[in-house]
Each structure stands twice: as structure tokens, then as C-alpha cells.
Chains A and B, each alone.
Chain A
């Protein structure tokens, strides 16, 4: 058996046989779900202690206007008192109306000992706005004006459809596309980051554990580095595959539960559930449309490109991390080399987030061509449709850079793993590149 394969096998097996890998892989989707839903649930919990808000109406025009809700009740009082300023006063805030609001809309103030909550502000403002509008309308004295106004107001519901190559129209949904794109972006970011770090960890372990001298007396340093990079990538693919299967099972279960044939779920790439989750609200319960939108995503294209960008991006960053790990003798020293790269990836993630708003804008365009960010940014653009030439150019740049990084990384790695002692300077590392 080829030595490279033996190394890949070990790197793969030692990781997937770890209990922590198995447990994390099975738990991660639930942790993610929790990360999404727990804040939502927490935000949903209302503070229903029933705070009192005093209303001081100097004009006498707005008596009985304010309707309380679960959180706030309004009490009308003739004037502010000194006790209201006390810390233990039951009055949370005071709404003061000092003049007729149709004449002076700014004659309205909220006093409070704390920052006024946005909920209270909205509550008071909407009710006041509505009242002022009605007052103003009444001042025109046009009969039936109310119904005219409400007739004019239209709630537009846009239904977006995308022309497909075969000329048919399909229901598309921007939210579904955003969700799917983000999911893929995030997966690539997370995998490249965590598995790249794993490569560095493993290189450092062999170096500090002084295993490497023994290893390079048996195999070429390049074989050792590539074996590690490929072995760890396979661990990543296995994890993705497991999540894919878990998701498919989940969708099938959901399908059976809600009585819908889970035909879409069967062929879905991993992780489309977040897209589905995101799409639930804007689709307003129209599950037929949602399913069509989900089915309308370019899965084949997304799947293929996901794998290509995943592999290219991972190769690029993993080579870098391998070289960084080889250059230092202890973990703490590695930050100097990894920090700029981590920041670059973080920039990629933010660029992806902003690119969503304009998937054909200059930021999206350049960031999805630049090889260090393209694996992250391109994924958000794909569901919206990207010209083929851009995809090809981006991939060509990515793979050319990846191979360059592998080549440079291997040179640094080869010299670095046998160097102990102080952290090398960039100038020294540059010199390693020239050794043959």
C-alpha cells in the first residue's frame, strides 16, 4: 500500500474513532437548532410584570386614548409628582402631553428613570399617530374620507418567479435562496476554519512530540503533510455526510408527520433545513409554495460548486495552517501567523453577509473572485444565479492559488518541522522557501 494512503488512513481513523467526534457529530445539529431557537424563544418571553405608566394630559383631549397591553398599563393622573422620580415608585414612566398634538406634534414627552424600552415607545407612538391621523382627517371634513383612504391603501404581495432554461416559470423565493446560500457559506467557513485548525494542531503535535524526526526518516515530508490534509478532509466529508443523512431522515419524518410526500428531501444536499426554517415565516404558511421554492433551487449546481469550493478553500487554508504549525514550536506562537488569515476569513464571512443584499454588486463580485474569500462569498451568490464565466474564473483562481499554497506550504513545512527553538521571523521563513 502506498505510504500516502497509510498516512491518510491513520489520520482519518484516529479522528473518527474518537468518542468526542462521534458525540459532537451527532449533537451538533441539535446544538445549532438550539442556538437558533433558544434566543428566539427567550425573546418571545414577555416581561409581564405589568408596569404602570402614568399619563399626564394637560390638554384633556386624549383621555382614554392609551390602551395597555400585557406589559404596560396606563393610569391617567392630573400631574407629575415628586414620588414618581423615586427609585421604588410603581410608576415606570410618565407620558406628558403638553399641547394639542395636531398643532404641535412635538408636545409629547416620555419621562423615565431608565432608558425607555422600545416596546413602550412603539406602543405609545402608534396609538398617538393613529389618533393624530384621524384628527387631521376629520379636520378636512370630507364625508367618507376614511373609507376612501383605506380603499387606496393596498397591500402588495409580490410573488417572484424565475425563468428557467427550459422556459418554464418556477416559484422562487428570495428568502429561501438567501437561506440556502448562507447555509452553504457558513458550512464552508466553519469547516475550513475548524478543520484547518485541526491540521495545524496535528502538525504541532507531531513537532512538539518529536515524532516528526522519526516520521521523515520513513516518508517524505510532503507525503506526511498531504496525508494529514487529505485524512482530515475526509473526516470533514464524513461529518457532512452524517449530517446529510440525519437531515434526510428528519425531513422524511417531518413529511410523514405533516402528511406530505418528502420527495424533495430525498435528494436535498445536507443542511437545507435551515433554509426551510428561514423560509417558513415569509412564505406565510403556504407550504406548497415553499416546497416549490425549495425544489426550485439549483441543487445540482449548488452541490457541485459546494464540493469544489469546499475542496479548493480547504486545500488553500489547510496548507497555510500546516506551514504555520510547522514554523512554530509551541501553540502560543502560532497566533502571529494565523491571525491575519483568520481575519481575512472573517472578512469573507462579512462580505458574504453584505453580498446578500446585492448579489451582483462590486463587493460580491470581487470578493467572490478573490481566492482567499471566494469559497465563502460565492456560495451566497449561487442560488441567485451567477454567470458561468464568473464561476469558472473564480474556480480557476481558487485552484491556482490553492496549488501555489500547497507548494509553498510544503516547502515551509519541510524545513519548519525540523527547526526547534525560537519563533522564526518572516524573513527566515522566506529563506526556507529557497532551500532545496
Chain B
């Protein structure tokens, strides 16, 4: 695993009436997409604001690229807030230029980079339009460009797909993956668990101000694996009971019969497969990993049931 580009260590933040974060540590590897997940009010926004230097933690440190976070680092960070907002009365190009310059770009540098992005999204003709003349989806594109134009090494996307139609969402996903491949480190915050599985490499789940689950997305899924397998057989030929497995469920399918099997603990995967091959005509066989959605719900409800003080 690459060195962490950003790491937050033992972050605590209290507000007047509640504790937002308790001893939160996350570590985001360079060049990866890191999913920051959690239900509403879990403390994600507070953590994002601390990384953005909008608020300061009560204790704990944030390290960016090997040094403690400092004022100049805003140039290194691009932030796409969930609540989108730009100046409605301002012209798109002028506005993008203004925001890019506030990130520390020179005028000409910013202009060149913006032209490139506008060109890539095919929106060069919007340059002199006022923002309020654009549709919601169009405004989202401008907002995305504004976030990435200064080539920040760390990008923070908060629900980036909200407000995009499927075609543009796919387009955006490709852009995000491309940015990752170019070496940008990305923190991706969302409630959309399907998109986490699609694009995140690492993840951390925050609930009630604490990290309750973290790790590589595939590893986490495996950790939550129940040892179930899905088997598609040409016909209903499996015996009702076997020493290597139990049948959890069975359903008729257009291509045959679909079984959900649970492997017995003492049996190896090889034994299971050879047994099944003898018992039926195998059409497909795959491990049933829980979806992130299931993992999210299970983790959140279990930590909510037994809240840690």
C-alpha cells in the first residue's frame, strides 16, 4: 500500500452541546479513492471541514504529504461541497477565474487551465453566460471544474453525483477515475453505496463521531462475508442435506435452479466444488459477498444499538 498522503490522527472536536468527533483517525493512501461514509450527523462534515482548515480540531493532527496541515495547503486541496453554490449573477468564466485565483493560481495560468476544462466538457460557449442562465446540471459541471482546475493533489468530493443524470454521472465517474489514475488522491463522501463499490479503493465508516469500520473495500466485504455461495444448476438435483454445505434458499430461475449455499466450516472450497460438480450440472458458481449497502446498515445499526460512550 502506498504511503498515506493524508492522515488524520486522533482528531477530537467538541461543540457546545455535543461531541462531533472522538479520537478519529483516517489514513488516505496516495493516488487512491477513499470513501468517507456514515449516516447523517455522523461527523463527516466536521471532519471534512477540519481537513479543509475551515475549523480547527480540539486535539489531534492532520498530516498532508508528510507535514502538518498549514495555510498554504488550500492550494493542494480541491473541495466540492455537497451544498453546491456559486455566484448566480456572475458570468461563468469570470467566476471560475476568480475562484481559481483564490486558490493561488496566476491569471494566465488559471485562464489556460479553465479553457482546457471547458473544452473537455464541451461548454466553452458558456464562458460569458451568467450562472443563473444555466440549468442545474450545467451548473454542477462548472462547480466540478472549479474544484479541480488548480490541479489539487487532494480532492474532496461530497456527493459528487447528486444532480447529474445517468449519462453525465457516468461521464463524471470516468473523470474521477481518470483523476485518480493521474495520481490525485481523492476523498469521496457519499450515501450512495453502489458508487462506493464501483470506485472506492479504501473506506472508513463513521458513526456517532467515531470510526466504526475501515479498510480496503474488498477486504471489508470479505470480512463481512457469511461464507455463502450462489450456485446455478441446470436442474433441481442437489440433496436436501450434505456434510459440506447447507442449502439456505432455493429458487426456480429461467436458466435453471438458483441455490444459496452455506459452506460447512470444516469443508474446503475445493471439496465443496468437487462435491457439487458430482451432484449437479453446474452453470455458475460464485461467492456471495455482502454489498456495501448491507455492510453499512449492519454496522450502523449494531453501533447504534450499543453506543460507545
Contacts and interface: CB of A to CB of B under 8 A. Distances in A.
Interface of A: 1, 3, 6-7, 10, 14, 209-220, 418, 428, 431, 436
A241 to B, nearest CB: 25
Given A10-B98, A218-B74, A431-B16, A209 B85 contact: yes
B101 A214 contact: no
A213 B102 contact: no
A12 to B, nearest CB: 12
B88 interface: yes
B121 interface: no
A216 B99 CA distance: 11
Interface stretch (B25-33, B36-44, B76-84, B290-298): B76-84
B93 to A, nearest CB: 13
B145 interface: no
A234 to B, nearest CB: 17
B277 interface: no
B52 interface: yes
Interface in B71-109: 71, 74, 77, 79, 81, 83-90, 98-99, 101-104
B99 A209 contact: no
A423 B52 CA distance: 26
B79 A214 contact: yes
The majority secondary structure among interface residues of chain A is helix
A1 B85 CA distance: 25
A214 B53 CA distance: 12
Nearest to B88: A209
B87 A209 contact: yes
B69 to A, nearest CB: 12
A217 B54 contact: yes
Contacts of A1: 101
Nearest to A436: B56
Given A10-B98, A217-B52, A217-B79, 11 more contacts: A3-B104, A14-B90, A210-B84, A213-B85, A214-B79, A214-B99, A215-B102, A216-B52, A219-B102, A418-B49, A418-B55
B83 A14 contact: no
Interface of B: 16, 49, 52-56, 71, 74, 77, 79, 81, 83-90, 98-99, 101-104, 146
Contacts of A219: 74, 102
A235 to B, nearest CB: 15
A431 to B, nearest CB: 6
Contacts of B16: 428, 431
A40 B2 CA distance: 82
Contacts of B99: 214, 218
A104 B98 CA distance: 85
A40 to B, nearest CB: 40
Given A214-B85, A214-B99, A418 B54 contact: yes
Contacts of A418: 49, 54-55
Chain B CB within 10 Å, residue with most, of A1, A10, A14, A217: A217
B54 A216 contact: yes
Nearest to B54: A216
Given A210-B81, A214-B79, A3 B89 contact: no
B81 A213 contact: yes
A6 B98 CA distance: 8
Contacts of B81: 210, 213-214, 217
CB-CB nearest 9 A-B residue pairs = A210-B85, A210-B83, A218-B102, A211-B85, A217-B79, A213-B81, A217-B52, A209-B85, A216-B54
Contacts of A210: 81, 83-85
Contacts of B49: 418
Contacts of A214: 79, 81, 85-86, 99, 146
Contacts of A217: 52-54, 74, 77, 79, 81
A209 B88 CA distance: 8
A236 B84 CA distance: 31
A430 to B, nearest CB: 11
7 contacts: A6-B98, A212-B85, A217-B74, A219-B74, A418-B54, A428-B16, A436-B56
A213 B74 contact: no
Nearest to A207: B85
A1 B87 CA distance: 22
Contacts of B101: 1, 6
A6 B83 contact: no
